[in-house]
Structure 1
Amino acid sequence: MAFDGLFIHSLLNELQDEITAGRLHKIYQPFNNDLVLVFRKDRKNKQLLISANPEYPRLYLSKESFSNPNVAPLFVMVLRKYLEGSVLQEISQVGLSRIVNFSFSNRNELGDEIQLILSVELMGRHSNVILYDKQSGKIIDLLKRINPDENRARLLLPKAKYELPPLTPGINGFTLTESEFSSLKKEYPTPADLAKQMDGLDGDDRQELTGYLEDDYSFSSLKTFYNQFSSPKAYVLVTPKHKRRIYPYLPYHLEMTKESSSTNLNEALDEFYAYQANRDWVKQRSQQVTRVVTNETKKLQKKLKKLEKQLDSAENSENLRVSGELLTAYLSQVKPGMEKIDLPNYYEGNQPMTIKLDPALSPQRNAQKYFKRYKKMRDSIKHVTEQIEITEENLRYLDSVQTEIDNADPEDVEAIKEELINQGYLRAEQKKRRKPKLTTEKSLNKFKLSSGKTVLVGKNNLQNDWLTLKKANKNHYWFHVKNIPGSHVILTDSQPSDSDIQESAEIAAYFSKAKNSAHVPVDYIQVKRIKKPNGAKPGFVIYTGQKSIEVTPEADEILAKRID
């Protein structure tokens, strides 16, 4: 279910009590499409996430830890100027549309009280957050400034008059009376036709309402459906195609399987969107890194193909030597000015072999030319083989960096950037850079096994090196997926049980490129057996004498073991 009008109606029932009359304490914009408003109420901070993400626009109270950017975007600076310290007087929905207005009371520079509206429009790719003055109706600023050529319906720029977007009128099921329902029933004799006229419903809600009315086409049945949204709970369901969806009620007429339920809609939303939002935030922050990794990988793949072709030619260069020998043996038959000649090949039972000649060269020079080409090709094998090894090593390294990005949290991206700068793939910014944070145990992912033992996991190659080569006790156990990019995992114990090994291996499999695979082979060995070759890329180590175990990582079970 999307954030349709009915979902928003349900959410606001819960949100009103949480933050209305609260003072807006902090405002920041951790990502391009996302705002975080921190309200102070009853001596507690309540963190409201507002997202204008075009794929899944949303708002809810979140317990996620957001980092405040070093430089505040312009819109946030405007919001801080006008709203910071103000009191939230009211939260209202425009009818049953996907527009939520937050009404604030504050004082201007002269001390006069002003009324401001922060309008949140959760409308797919047209989603936006707009601050305007309630009295004048003039827009002060907005999250996404829209060029007039891109939107002819209304002007979305500072100082323009705020206007509602074009809305499709419909029937409000919450205010509908029984007599009005009876009239509508005559006008729309089938439940499906009436459901189409109702406002604020997405496809799933419309299908569910139709099911209610088909069971009993009555005003009572309609009210039963709508009353669910006034006392909402949260239900996560899974479609036949294994897609997760969240509802403020339990649908009975949709083909879905219930996964979980909660009495708190905000908390359920926070958990439901955690993975999707995290991947989106990582994607936003890692665009530069991903672009560099992708481009460098493509270059190296092209280079590898050329080198392999060159090596194949060098290894199959015997024909050059044979051609030179045949020309020398039958030199008397080769005449100046010839472009080719057929000579008996005594290596192949005197079968005729066609040899191309340069007519500008003498017979002796043609023979010497073949010998020189043969020697050059054979001499190149060692160099080309070395270049192939270097190229393959660089490809493996970039593959490991991409795996780091795929498994990263938003705050981990800066460390990955720093790693690529150190390796020469990225240029350091000209402006003064902050000193990179020193790697400590707090930087790592940490897990607690069923036995109570601790497992440490590196988030990037620099952390992997530090964890394995400096931090870990030599008698503790090291885990890594076999021949696949992934994190270094340390079980901080020298005598692990079979259960400890199993759980640690599952964590190693999860933090690897094979996280979504089954029967993942994981190597494990004591740290003292791990060596790092001189000049090797970050994260690359060698070892012998390891044991292996096959595991299938289950995300929910693994993440439940995570500790802060």
Structure 2
Amino acid sequence: MAFDGLFIHSLINNIKHTLIGSRLSKIYQPFDQDLILTFRKNRKNLQVLISVNAQYPRFYITEQTIVNPDKAPTFVMVLRKYLEGSVLQDIQQVGVDRIVNFYFSNRNELGDQIQLVLSIELMGRHSNVILYDKKSNRIIDLLKRINPEENRVRLLLPKAKYELPPLIPGINGFKITKDEFKSMTRTTTVQSFVQKVSGLDRDDRNELTGYLEDDFSYTSFKTFISQFDKKGAFILKSSDNKRKIFPYLPYHLDLTKESVKSDLNQALDEFYLYQSNRDWVKQRSSQVERVIKNEQKKLTKKITKLQTQLDLAENSEGYRIRGEILNANLKQVHSGMTKISLPNYYENNRPIEIKLDAALSPVRNAQKYFTRYKKLRNSIKHVKEQVKISRQTLEYFDSVQTAINNADPQDVDQIIDELTAQGYIKRQQKQKKVKKITEHNLNRFRLSSGKTVFVGKNNYQNDWLTFKKANKHDIWFHVKNMPGSHVILQDNQPSDRDIAETAEIAAYYSKAKDSAHVQVDYVEDKRVKKPNGAKPGFVIYTGQNSIEVTPKKDNIQHKKL
């Protein structure tokens, strides 16, 4: 289900008492459409994530580690000016609509008490975060400033009067009385009544319809509505494996139960973890992906051109043959000729047509063919080396793209630093210093046997894991002949099951993660070497064994620490 009005009602009930009375200590905007508000209460920090992402606008308390950007946008500076140090007095939903108001109390520069409202409107592409003064009802600032030409319904600019967006009137299921229900349903159908109930998305609407078709009564209706006052959460999957989260267990929808959580907010944080990470990585790595795409395009063209040149060089015998035939028939060649047909004694004297330069003598024409032949033959070694280097560089960028696909937001800075060091990204004068790699940067897994597996998420981490972190007798894993993470199993006598489980992890953190049959090499870490001058992440190894596995996301995520 989506973040509809009834879901928001459940979430507010879940987090309200945790947040009310806390002091807002920090505000930052890690990405264009996301805000982090850090509240302090009972000597603990509580991070509230607010996202106005058009596909899944949302808010909840998060435990994710999100990097604070160096430079704060204008809206964040305004929020810090007015809200930092303020006390959260209340959290209220507007009816059962997708609008949530955070009420703050603070003091202005003169020391006077002021009441401020941070309004979160979770309405698809129209989602916004608006700060306004409760007394004057004037907007102080907002995350998305909208020109009057783009929205003529209401003015969304600083100093304008705050007005609610147009709301569709409907039935508030939490407030309707038994008499009102009877009056409304006396002459109407189940479908017509359900359409009038506010705060429902399609899934909730279908579920409520199922309840009322079984028993079109006030008791049945309140049974459905009362489920949104509970604290738990249910994660379910549709027939096409799409995951959905509900504050209740639906019985009338074609869904399969995946898991049950006792806390709705924690379930939300876990539910959106993967998708939000992908979005944040995509935003932060946009520059890197442009560089990768451009370099891959240039390298592909270069390899095609070099391959054509190599094919020409390897098939250059024709130039030598033409030179020899000309030398053997110099008396038949006259100055001013542009071509001549002579018997080819390499092919039973069949005629061969030879082009000539009219400005050159017969001998010079023959020498020209020999020179061309020698030049092409001498170029073969150089061109092959260039093809090899170009293909290795193309594989390197493939590995960087794979690293981005597996990265967390905080890993992108290391990838940018790597490409900067390689000269593919221009170094900034005030470039942020990348933190030293530690064990905490890596992905960590616990196998069924209890043994630990470490996974590098980019080329810098791969090198550090393989050559600094790993013991020489640990077992090193890597997908065969394909970009992927370096994976270390901390054990020198692994069982067959340990090897299979670790190989599955290595396959998942590679370009072949969606393949059914993936070959994974494994060998003692001491057999892995890095050639002099090799790019980050590139290694060679000998004496390896191989195993074929099929990576399954659920198996792997279950082992992640």
TM-score range, shorter chain: over 0.9
- The residue that corresponds to 1:511 in the other structure is 509
Cα drift, residue 370 of structure 1? 2.3
- The residue that corresponds to 1:457 in the other structure is 455
Cα drift, residue 266 of structure 1? 0.5
Q: Which AA in structure 1 matches 2:110?
A: L
Q: How does 1:356-395 map to 2 (within 5 A)?
A: 356-395=355-394
Cα drift, residue 183 of structure 1? 4.1
Q: Which AA in structure 1 matches 2:369?
A: Y
Residues 96-105 or 507-516, more deviating: 507-516
SS at match of 2:40: strand
- The residue that corresponds to 2:157 in the other structure is 157
In structure 2, which of residues 531, 553, 558 is the aligned counterpart of residue 533 of structure 1?
A: 531
Distance 1:414 1:79 in 2: 27
Cα drift, residue 21 of structure 1? 2.5
Distance 1:152 1:340, change over 3 A: farther
- The residue that corresponds to 1:18 in the other structure is 18
Distance 1:203 1:240 in 2: 16
Distance 1:15 1:438, change over 3 A: closer
Distance 1:437 1:223 in 2: 54
Distance 1:317 1:151 in 2: 69
- The residue that corresponds to 1:429 in the other structure is 428
- The residue that corresponds to 1:64 in the other structure is 64
Matched, 1:499 2:497: yes
SS at match of 1:348: coil
Q: Which AA in structure 2 matches 1:528?
A: K
Distance 1:435 1:217 in 2: 64
Unmatched tracts of structure 2, length 5 or more: none
Distance 1:85 1:319 in 2: 83
Greater than 4 Å deviation, 4+ residue runs:
none
- The residue that corresponds to 2:211 in the other structure is 212
- The residue that corresponds to 2:103 in the other structure is 103
SS at match of 1:388: helix
Q: Which AA in structure 1 matches 2:348?
A: G
Distance 2:155 2:298 in 1: 45
Residues 546-555 or 262-271, more deviating: 546-555
- The residue that corresponds to 1:231 in the other structure is 230
Cα drift, residue 541 of structure 1? 1.3
Cα drift, residue 186 of structure 1? 5.0
Q: Which AA in structure 2 matches 1:404?
A: A
- The residue that corresponds to 1:415 in the other structure is 414
Q: How does 1:275-314 map to 2 (within 5 A)?
A: 275-314=274-313
Residues 480-489 or 215-224, more deviating: 215-224
Distance 1:271 1:545 in 2: 41
Deviation by residue 1:502-542 (Cα, 9 ceiling, x = unmatched) = 33323322322222333322211112222221111111111
Instruction: Tell me if structure 2 keeps the 8 A contact 1:10–1:231.
Output: yes
Instruction: Tell me if structure 2 keeps the 8 A contact 1:232–1:249.
Output: no
Q: Which AA in structure 2 matches 1:325?
A: E
Deviation by residue 1:200-232 (Cα, 9 ceiling, x = unmatched) = 222222222222222233333322222222225
Distance 1:528 1:44 in 2: 45
- The residue that corresponds to 1:200 in the other structure is 199
Q: Which AA in structure 1 matches 2:227?
A: Q
Cα drift, residue 418 of structure 1? 1.1
SS at match of 1:545: coil
Cα drift, residue 438 of structure 1? 2.7
Cα drift, residue 140 of structure 1? 0.9
Cα drift, residue 277 of structure 1? 0.7
- The residue that corresponds to 1:185 in the other structure is 185
Distance 1:251 1:123 in 2: 24
Q: Which AA in structure 2 matches 1:54?
A: A
- The residue that corresponds to 1:542 in the other structure is 540
Instruction: Tell me if structure 2 keeps the 8 A contact 1:181–1:219.
Output: yes
SS at match of 1:540: coil
- The residue that corresponds to 1:487 in the other structure is 485
TM-score (norm 2): 0.94
Distance 2:48 2:436 in 1: 32
Q: How does 1:263-342 map to 2 (within 5 A)?
A: 263-342=262-341
Deviation by residue 1:271-318 (Cα, 9 ceiling, x = unmatched) = 110100111111111111111112111111111111111111211222
Distance 1:443 1:4 in 2: 36
Sequence identity percentage? 67
Distance 1:66 1:371, change over 3 A: same
Distance 1:178 1:499 in 2: 61
Calculate the aligned-residue CA RMSD, in Å.
2.1
SS at match of 1:130: strand
- The residue that corresponds to 1:6 in the other structure is 6
Cα drift, residue 264 of structure 1? 1.3
Cα drift, residue 500 of structure 1? 2.7
Residues 203-212 or 391-400, more deviating: 203-212
Residues 437-446 or 53-62, more deviating: 437-446
Q: How many residues align?
A: 561
Q: Which AA in structure 1 matches 2:410?
A: E
Q: How does 1:123-138 map to 2 (within 5 A)?
A: 123-138=123-138
Deviation by residue 1:411-451 (Cα, 9 ceiling, x = unmatched) = 111111111111111111012x3443333334333333333
Deviation by residue 1:4-54 (Cα, 9 ceiling, x = unmatched) = 112112212222222123222322222221112222334433322111112
Cα drift, residue 193 of structure 1? 2.7
Cα drift, residue 156 of structure 1? 1.8
- The residue that corresponds to 1:439 in the other structure is 437
Unmatched tracts of structure 1, length 5 or more: none
Distance 1:44 1:461 in 2: 36
Matched, 1:80 2:85: no
Residues 83-92 or 404-413, more deviating: 83-92
Cα drift, residue 173 of structure 1? 2.7
Q: Which AA in structure 2 matches 1:226?
A: I
Residues 274-283 or 332-341, more deviating: 332-341
Distance 1:176 1:58 in 2: 27
Instruction: Tell me if structure 2 keeps the 8 A contact 1:506–1:552.
Output: yes
Distance 1:314 1:237 in 2: 61
SS at match of 1:405: helix
Q: Which AA in structure 1 matches 2:55?
A: E
Q: Which AA in structure 1 matches 2:233?
A: A
Distance 1:112 1:458 in 2: 53
Distance 1:206 1:126 in 2: 23
Matched, 1:470 2:488: no
Residues 273-282 or 454-463, more deviating: 454-463
Cα drift, residue 481 of structure 1? 1.3
Residues 470-479 or 85-94, more deviating: 470-479
Deviation by residue 1:166-205 (Cα, 9 ceiling, x = unmatched) = 2223332332334433443355x33223322222222222
Residues 546-555 or 438-447, more deviating: 438-447
Distance 1:263 1:421, change over 3 A: same
Residues 114-123 or 284-293, more deviating: 284-293
Cα drift, residue 351 of structure 1? 2.7
SS at match of 1:229: helix
- The residue that corresponds to 1:36 in the other structure is 36
SS at match of 2:10: helix
Distance 1:208 1:434 in 2: 51
Residues 99-108 or 320-329, more deviating: 320-329
Distance 1:456 1:253 in 2: 43
Distance 1:355 1:73, change over 3 A: same
Distance 1:48 1:440, change over 3 A: closer
Q: Which AA in structure 2 matches 1:552?
A: T
SS at match of 2:200: coil
